[in-house]
Amino acid sequence: MYHVERTLFIAYDDAYIYCDNARIVVKLGEDKHYFGYDNVESIIIFTDKTTLSVYTMRNCAEHKITIHYVSKYGKYIGSFMGYETGNVLLRKLQFEMIGTEKEREYIRSLLAAKFKNSI
């Protein structure tokens, strides 16, 4: 396990990541390492045998901590991001705009820009 700036790298088999009240706990055998939510921006896991509790995933989502999975050979597997990360807010705003005057304004400006670019 390595902690570089605000990124936590987990490269050990049989690591267990869980949360207590105010921090993330990484258990490696009998050793425990503690990290506050404010000190971690992302967690990168390099092994299939690392266990992550559901409570930890929920707390990471609430604190905008992204969890990335990478194979031991360096191939990207996937990521877990919280609700307020990435395109989720954009999609939510788009669905909220359906059928409103704001949607019509958006479509008008989008079409005007497309026509201007085509000329």
Question: Mind listing the pLDDT tens digit for each residue in 49-73?
Answer: 888 888 888 888 888 888 999 988 8
Question: Mind listing the pLDDT tens digit for each residue in 104-119?
Answer: 888 888 889 988 888 8
- Spell 20-41 as b/e; 16+ CB within 10 A means b: eeeebebebeeeeeebebeebe
Report the predicted TM-score, pTM, of the whole model to 2 decimal places: 0.64
Tell whether the torsion through CA atoms of 34, 20, 62 and 48 is positive or negative: positive
